[in-house]
């Protein structure tokens, strides 16, 4: 077996381990009190329910968020930066495109997003491995 084949096998095993860990976590997490699972596999917990409007899939949103891996390693945090982001829903990862239209402005939710609705097998940058299930704290500030 060549070095390239060994590396490919190692990366494939690592990817599968990440996916399996996400599947196991979500299976257990969905029975936690207050956790809701959507048909697509996204899970959420309402930290605070807002009273504003819900974004249409074609809307843009302004939100704060903290993103982390299942092990708690944080990869981004707009709360810490003190700068919310604004973007069209269509430009966000698929999991956000599904979950955010369910939120009302002013809401704060915790989301667990399976890898196939986040960054998939490729991951993102150095901090998000391929196959990773992601955890987001999202505060929907405004529908634009």
Number of domains in the chain: 1
| Containing structural domain, residue 122 | 3-143
The pLDDT value given to residue 82: 97
Element (H, E) at 59: none
Residue 72: C-alpha distances to residues 57, 105, 112, 134 (Å): 29, 26, 12, 10
The pLDDT value given to residue 3: 81
- Cβ neighbours of residue 95 closer than 8 Å, sequence gap 6 or more: 40, 42, 111, 113, 114, 117, 118, 134
The pLDDT value given to residue 10: 72
Cα–Cα distance for residue pair 96/92, rounded to 1 Å? 6
CATH code (residue 43): 3.10.50.40
Cα–Cα distance for residue pair 54/7, rounded to 1 Å? 46
Residue 42 φ/ψ, nearest 5 degrees: -70, 140
Tokens in use for 100?
């955010």
pLDDT in tens, the chain (144 residues): 888 887 778 777 889 999 999 999 999 999 999 999 999 999 999 999 999 999 999 999 999 999 999 999 999 999 999 999 999 999 999 999 999 999 999 999 999 999 999 999 999 999 999 999 999 999 999 999
């Amino acid at each position: 077996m060549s070095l390239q084949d060994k590396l490919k096998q190692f990366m494939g095993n690592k990817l599968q381990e990440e996916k399996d860990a996400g599947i196991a976590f979500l299976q257990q997490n969905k029975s936690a009190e207050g956790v809701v699972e959507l048909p697509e596999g996204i899970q959420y917990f309402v930290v605070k329910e807002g009273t504003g409007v819900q974004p249409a899939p074609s809307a843009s949103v302004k939100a704060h968020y903290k993103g982390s891996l299942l092990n708690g390693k944080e990869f981004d945090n707009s709360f810490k930066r003190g700068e919310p982001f604004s973007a069209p829903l269509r430009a966000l990862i698929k999991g956000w495109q599904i979950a955010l239209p369910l939120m009302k402005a002013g809401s704060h939710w915790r989301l667990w997003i399976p890898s196939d609705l986040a960054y998939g097998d490729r991951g993102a940058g150095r901090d998000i491995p391929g196959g990773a299930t992601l955890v987001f704290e999202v505060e929907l500030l405004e529908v634009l």
